[in-house]
Homo-oligomer: A and B are copies of this chain.
Amino acid sequence: VKVTIKEVAQAAGVSPATVSRVFNDTVPVDEETRARVLSAAAELRYVPNAAARSLITSRTTTVGVLIPELSGAFLSQVMLGLDNAARRRGFHLLVSSAARDSSSATDALRAMRGRVDGVIIISPQLDPLPLLGELPDEQAVVLVGTPERQTSAAIVAIDNAGGAAAMVRHLVRHGHRRIALIAGPEDDSDARERRQGYMTALGESDVARDENLEVRGDFTEDGGYEATRRLLATGSRPTAIFAASDSMAIGAMSALREAQIAVPDEIAIAGFGDLPVARHVDPSLSSVHVPSVELGRLALERMVFAIARQGQGAHTHDRLACTLVLRNSCGVHESNDAPPRRHHP
């Protein structure tokens, strides 16, 4: 039941070359001929064979996406942005969530070879530069959320440090001197950058950094819960906690509730990521909003550009700004975003 270009050609009374020209409209084709070809193709339900086409053109109109995991609010939003943009641009997405350790990431990249026109690498926990060695030189590459460095790839990133610094500055400005940090995993570049922003903001102020106030979680609720218990166990209590993710902030709130410590009255809390749930926890959670869908969209656009230019030309470095979303958990009621926003459709 597979229809080939030959049969369409025969049905339309033209050569296969002409059918090809109609479908790719690369050269002018006589209007009447084109119409005949199109109607024959429609009648036969002809769909060009992708394999044959990419064998000869060595193009696949497919972009590979290497990502550490597909679950997780942030990454799935990025995927959403990627996917929407890909559809608009006529590209397919070949995904692999093998970006955990560099050996499986390398395997995944190798397996994509020849199947994609370029690869978007999202690897906060992995240095992508060694991976690039695996790829043929002419392969288009976009790195998402990688610290800027000398590389032959385009980079699209979130301004993690700036967002974190803005939130911590906000806390400082409102009188907090003992601001704890629930950091993310040290091997995660997003986590490192947010921690950097925390330190930057403290450094700008007259608040001395106190390492006893720094604990580490794994970006999950449970991790934030555990980290907060450890923090409280030290006896040196903060007046505010900045968590490097909303999930950890929510876990922290849960631990504080258990310890009967009032938020925000006794301890203020702020998170990072601005998940949809942030405004519905109690108290509503102040957070740093991250343009994750936009990040995905931009990454795909840069990829399309890189493919078109065949790796030639300068590589762009984009850094997207975050915005502060102030709600009740940090004790400063400047915002009207909490209680929950009303929709009036």
Contacts and interface: CB of A to CB of B under 8 A. Distances in A.
A226 B343 CA distance: 8
Contacts of A14: none
B276 A257 contact: no
A1 interface: yes
Contacts of A73: 71, 73
A115 B250 CA distance: 43
A138 interface: yes
The interface centre, meaning the residue of A70, A254, A257 with most chain B CB atoms within 10 A of its CB, is A70
Nearest to A55: B51
A55 B47 contact: no
Interface string A138-149: 100000000000
Contacts of A55: 49, 51-52, 55
Interface string A95-115: 111100000100010111111
Contacts of A220: 276
22 contacts: A1-B137, A2-B136, A47-B113, A47-B114, A49-B114, A51-B60, A62-B94, A70-B79, A71-B80, A73-B73, A75-B76, A80-B97, A92-B96, A92-B111, A92-B115, A95-B95, A221-B340, A222-B276, A222-B343, A254-B282, A254-B339, A254-B340
